[in-house]
Structure 1
Amino acid sequence: MLYCHGNSNSRAAEHRIQLYKFFQQMDFHTIAFDYRGYGDSTKIRPTENGVVEDSLVVYEWLRTTVDKGDRKPPIFVWGHSLGEAISSHLLGNLKELSTSVLERSTPLPLPNGLILEAPFNNLPDEVAKHPLSKLVTWLPYYESTFVAPFRSDRGQRFMSDAHLSRAPALPVLILHAKDDVIVPFVVGLKLYRSVLESRSEGGATIKLHAYDKSENLGHKWICHAKDLSDVIGDFVQCHQ
């Protein structure tokens, strides 16, 4: 399980450690890393292309490591919050990134599946739906001032819906809590519907597993969901 974490702190944040413990209980080997500018990685300003390149390098290392022997274990990628946008960009453009960034003659193969926890369809919509936006949506210049810059800035758009539409052969599982106030459920639902529509004429499965507000899982604690082992176990079993 290659884990791409969200925007805050580092790979050692408490909720991430709890998720690693879940992976351990599931008998998964876990690879976690920090993007540039995070944790103890190089202190330079992160950009979308930069953090995607970081994940690409780790993914190439992982594939090279596990593909050496006769038995090639399945690889799954798990992205949480911003990490889902990074992993979606990576896997939706893996062929092009393999040749342009890594200069490989043979593109890296896709993983067995992608698990997206608390995802958003694209950054402009996430900004528009963020709870803090409610404080300023009444302003006549709200769209042009607060949202439009994210639509026009090619360096920070994180268009997961567009990226995943380019990878119809990649199985995707979306996990989202309906009481998530950081990345509202509505943008995760938009992502699911967009990818589902892009596969209307065929492609790998995409599933959405939603958690009710009564479970109090919020943005960070789906790792404590009572049925998570069954949900993840079924997805992995079907695609390994």
Structure 2
Amino acid sequence: MGRFDKTLHTTLLRPVRMLPIGLIVLALVLYAGACAYLRQAQERFIFFPEREVSETPATYGLGYEEVYLPLGDDRLHGWWIPADRPDAPVVLYLHGNGINVGANAEHAHRLQYRLGFTVFLFDYRGYGKSSGPFPSEDRVYADAERAWQYLVRERRIDPRRIVLYGHSLGGAVAVEMALRHPEVAGAVVESSFTSIQEMTATQAWTRFFPVRWLLHQRFDSIAKVSRLQVPVLFIHGQRDQVISYTMSERNYAATPQPKRLLLIAGGDHATNAVEGGNLYLEGFRAFAHSVLSR
């Protein structure tokens, strides 16, 4: 082969040799971009708010008061649903990551009508009629704190007459609030998880990303429950396909006494009260009676 042929051969092979390197660089750029996106936009994978409120307490025949709470330049919207007894204990209802208060009106009715609580149910910023930016972990904690101050300072309710109730992600908010306010009577944590990090570990695609480094929305209940100084009732359906009931078992095991665990054999993520029937209602009622009479 002559010198010209060798030069031509080398020239033709160069793009072929460079191709794998180019693909590797492109893959690294895409991977870095995906990591940056996951870190910057992870709230969009956690919160799923809707603005339209489809149901109200009136849908279930309940009287209620519309409440708007200023919070900086924003405001929270909620419903004050009074019990028949003026001295009834109050449930601060912390809903999950989807839809808004409208999807929780039926259960608020159950807590008020069947169990005799006054219920304050509100939307985090970004949900329903609550104004403000898209929700985040810090924001929903601040929103729950604002709701707590409304009850204690504006409604002048003794904290020892308040029971925190949180469903799903709201359960993690209830854990945070119970940690901040050990003066509360107790907390009910239903269908909730140990942490967002452990929730992501159940998703196959997360194995390809450094989730521990990327995650800043943590809702790390399992790291908090050991420090709680209030009674806690954990409720979970054993057919829950969204969050495994074993997460409630682990939270329960890590929580100091007094504590209770109520597992509903036929319950899924949102049907514990329906599937559990009297078992659910009596479990909730017995827990509330014990903590309110302390």
Aligned residue type for 1:231: G
Aligned residue type for 1:179: R
Q: Report the equivalent of 2:242.
A: 182
C-alpha deviation, 1:66, in angstroms: 4.6
- Retained in 2: the 8 A contact 1:47–1:155? no
- Matched residue of 1:3: which SS? strand
Structure-2-length-normalised TM-score: 0.63
What CA distance in whole angstroms lies between the structure 1 residues aligned with 2:247 and 2:105? 26
**Does residue 284 of structure 2 align to residue 237 of structure 1?**
no
Q: Report the equivalent of 1:152.
A: 213
Q: Report the equivalent of 1:222.
A: 272
Q: Report the equivalent of 2:99.
A: 9
Q: Report the equivalent of 2:193.
A: 120
C-alpha deviation, 1:36, in angstroms: 1.1
What CA distance in whole angstroms lies between the structure 2 residues aligned with 1:191 and 1:110? 21
What CA distance in whole angstroms lies between the structure 2 residues aligned with 1:194 and 1:230? 24
C-alpha deviation, 1:188, in angstroms: 1.8
- Retained in 2: the 8 A contact 1:175–1:209? yes
Q: Report the equivalent of 1:104.
A: none
- Matched residue of 1:35: which SS? coil
After the TM superposition, which of the residue ranges 42-51 and 2-11 deviates more from structure 2?
42-51
Q: Report the equivalent of 2:57.
A: none
**CA 1:46/1:153 → structure 2, altered by over 3 Å: closer, same or farther?**
farther
- Matched residue of 2:101: which SS? coil
What CA distance in whole angstroms lies between the structure 2 residues aligned with 1:176 and 1:33? 23
- Matched residue of 1:32: which SS? strand
**Does residue 126 of structure 2 align to residue 37 of structure 1?**
yes
- Retained in 2: the 8 A contact 1:66–1:73? no
C-alpha deviation, 1:37, in angstroms: 1.2
C-alpha deviation, 1:177, in angstroms: 0.4
What CA distance in whole angstroms lies between the structure 2 residues aligned with 1:66 and 1:73? 14
Equivalent pairs counted in the alignment come to 199
Q: 1:206 aligns with which of 242, 259, 268?
A: 259
**CA 1:109/1:116 → structure 2, altered by over 3 Å: closer, same or farther?**
closer
Structure-1-length-normalised TM-score: 0.76
C-alpha deviation, 1:162, in angstroms: 1.5
Q: Deviations over 1:4-50 (max 9, x none)?
A: 0001100111xx22211211221100000111111111241211111
Q: Report the equivalent of 1:105.
A: none
Q: Report the equivalent of 2:254.
A: 194
Q: Report the equivalent of 1:165.
A: 226
What CA distance in whole angstroms lies between the structure 1 residues aligned with 2:216 and 2:146? 19
Q: Deviations over 1:159-203 (max 9, x none)?
A: 011222222x210000000100111112222211222xxx3xxxx
Runs of 4+ that moved beyond 6 A: none
**Does residue 53 of structure 2 align to residue 53 of structure 1?**
no
CA-based RMSD: 2.0
Q: 2:165 aligns with which of 75, 78, 101?
A: 78
Greater relative contact order structure (CA < 8 Å, 6+ sep): 1
- Matched residue of 2:102: which SS? coil
Segments of 5+ residues of structure 2 without an aligned counterpart are 1-90
Please show how residues 128-143 of structure 1 align to structure 2 within 5 Å. Answer: 128-129=201-202, 133=203, 136=204, 142-143=206-207
Q: Deviations over 1:65-123 (max 9, x none)?
A: 4536xx8771100000000111212222x1xxxxxxxxxxxxx5531000001011111
